[in-house]
Structure formats: C-alpha cells, structure tokens
C-alpha cells in the first residue's frame, strides 16, 4: 500500500487516497468508498482483498475536510457517536466531487488499463449510486446504501452497470424505501438490485458486528463478476 494526494476540484486543498496495487498489471482501478467510520482498518482489509483479486484499489479519505485520517470501528458507543457526528457534518455534494476527482486520478495511475469503477458501503453505498448517476465510472456497486429511494429521480441518467446489495432487515433503511428501489431497478436494464433475507445493515463488513457470512459471500461473488466484466 502507498498513498497519493488528489487535488480537490473546488480549490479547498488536497486529500489523501490509499492505493493497493495488484501483483499483475495493467489492471482496472476500483475506488473503494468508505463507511461512516472513515478509511478504517476494515476498509483497508477490504481494499487489500480487491487488490488480491487483480484490481488497483483506491481508498480516498472523504472526511478530510472535517478530520483527516479517521479510523473508527463499530465496537464502542463512543466510536458510533463520533461516526454519526462525522456523517452529519459531511457534505455529500463535495464528497461526490472528491470521488469524481479520485476516479479521474485512478484512471491514469501507473499500471491502470484506463477502466475504473466504484464500490461503496453504507454511506459509501449511497455515494456509489450517486457516482452511477453523476460520473463516467465503468461500473458502480452499492452495499446497503441508505436513503437510496431519495436518489431515484436521477436513475435515468445511469448508463453503466449499477449493482445494489440490499439487506432486508436494514435498521437504517425502512422497508418502504427499499421496496421502491427494488421496483425501480426492475425497469432499468443497467441496474440490478439484490435483497438478502435475514441480513442486517453492514452484513459484509469485515470483522463487523452484523457480519453475515452467507449473504456476504453471495454478494461478493456477484460483485466480483460485475467488476471483472467491466474492468477486466
């Protein structure tokens, strides 16, 4: 792993992104989008796994405007409280712009084959869907994104594959909203929505309290197929 610096497009400065290179190159690049816990140990482990799969994994620090280098877990109430405070202070529009800048930087990294996509979890899952609607990413994958029904107005903008992994017991995304997303996905040929019975929010978080091995393995297999098809 090494870090690169990416210049923000609004002139606010620059932010760090951790890069996990694969053994073989050229390879497609994958922007791995953080949860509310920052670019933490769990996310870095996930990114390292994508590198082992043959992708250049890039993890941008999206909380840099608030507090650079956040590394929290889901193991204590104090960390949860801080994570929610960071999420509430986070400007999603600026975060989207930072992701667009990260995607552009990822495409021209040494060893990249020119193709790049995104994959995000929780807050990152919402941002991955926003990237599907507002970027030229070759593929976007969203794990248990929250409030996705509020993004459906821009669904017609999507022209590249978007894969949605939805927990049917997600405590942070009401069933009515999830149902609207699933129904909307049926009418869009580029969008696939998968619902995981009995799974709670963050079912695929490495080392997480809601880890669900069956759901995670099935979802990750679907993601792998989509990434290989789009990124090589």
94 three-state secondary structure: helix
61 labelled catalytic: no
Sheet bearing 14-20, strands edge to edge = 2-7, 14-20, 56-60, 27-33, 112-121, 140-143, 162-167, 191-196
Residue 116 φ then ψ, to 5°: -155, 145
154 labelled catalytic: no
**For residue 173, what is the DSSP state?**
S
**DSSP letter for each residue of 106-149:** HHTSTTEEEEEEEEEETHHHHHHHHHHHHS--S-EEEES-SSGG
The answer to whether the beta carbons of residues 204 and 163 sit under 8 Å apart is: no
- Options 170, 200, 210, 212, the catalytic residue: 170
Chain-centre distance for alpha carbon 47 = 11
- Options 165, 201, 210, 212, the catalytic residue: 201
d(CA 184, CA 156): 10
The answer to whether the beta carbons of residues 145 and 126 sit under 8 Å apart is: yes
- Residues classed as catalytic: 170, 201
């Amino acid at each position: 792993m090494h870090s690169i610096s990416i210049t923000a497009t609004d002139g606010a400065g620059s932010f760090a992104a951790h890069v996990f290179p694969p053994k073989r190159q050229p390879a497609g690049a994958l922007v791995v989008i953080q949860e509310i816990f920052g670019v933490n140990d769990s996310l870095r482990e996930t990114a390292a796994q994508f590198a082992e799969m043959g992708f250049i994994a890039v993890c941008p620090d999206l909380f840099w405007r608030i507090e650079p280098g956040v590394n929290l877990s889901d193991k204590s109430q104090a960390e949860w409280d801080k994570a929610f405070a960071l999420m509430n202070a986070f400007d999603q529009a600026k975060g989207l712009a930072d992701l667009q800048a990260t995607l552009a930087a990822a495409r021209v990294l040494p060893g990249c084959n020119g193709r790049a996509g995104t994959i995000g979890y929780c807050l990152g899952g919402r941002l991955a869907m926003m990237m599907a609607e507002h970027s030229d990413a070759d593929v976007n994958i969203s794990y248990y994104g929250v409030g996705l029904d509020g993004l459906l107005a821009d669904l017609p903008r999507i022209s590249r594959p978007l894969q949605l992994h939805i927990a049917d017991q997600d405590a942070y995304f009401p069933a009515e909203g999830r149902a609207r997303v699933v129904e909307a996905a049926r009418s869009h040929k580029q969008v696939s929505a998968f619902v995981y019975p009995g799974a709670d929010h963050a079912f695929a978080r490495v080392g997480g309290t809601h880890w669900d091995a069956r759901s995670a393995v099935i979802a990750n297999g679907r993601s792998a197929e989509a990434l290989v098809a789009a990124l090589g």
